[in-house]
Amino acid sequence: MKAFRVQGLAPFGKMRQQFTLDVVAENENDAKDRVYSTLGSRHRAPRRKIELNDVSEIDPRTSSEPQVLNHFREQILAQGGPIQVAEEE
């Protein structure tokens, strides 16, 4: 399993907004499917209205998603803990 960061555009209510979501998946296609599933269940957004712009593999230590941190907890601790990344403004 690997950690992926997926960025895109989705309808949240009456507006379309950009989103970034970190997921644990086998490959890029699995990561896309998990994002479609998550956004569909949380926000009732149909797959055809969700636009995925970028899917990239990331170092799990740079994620702040609890699901990613939990899945890779032993690996993160063995490498010295999480890496704090400054957020862009």
Question: By CB neighbour count within 10 A (0-12 exposed, 13-18 middle, 19+ buried), where does 40 fall?
Answer: middle
Q: What whole-number distance in Å separates Cα of residue 19 and Cα of residue 10?
A: 7
- The whole-number pLDDT of residue 82 equals 82
Residue-wise pLDDT for 42-85, tens only, equals 999 999 999 999 999 999 999 999 999 999 999 999 988 888 76
Q: Which residue has the higher pLDDT, 34 or 12?
A: 34
Residue-wise pLDDT for 7-31, tens only, equals 999 998 889 999 999 999 999 999 9
Per the document, the length of the chain is 89
- The whole-number pLDDT of residue 87 equals 60
Query: Which domains are assigned to the chain?
Result: 2-58 (3.10.20.10)
- The whole-number pLDDT of residue 84 equals 74
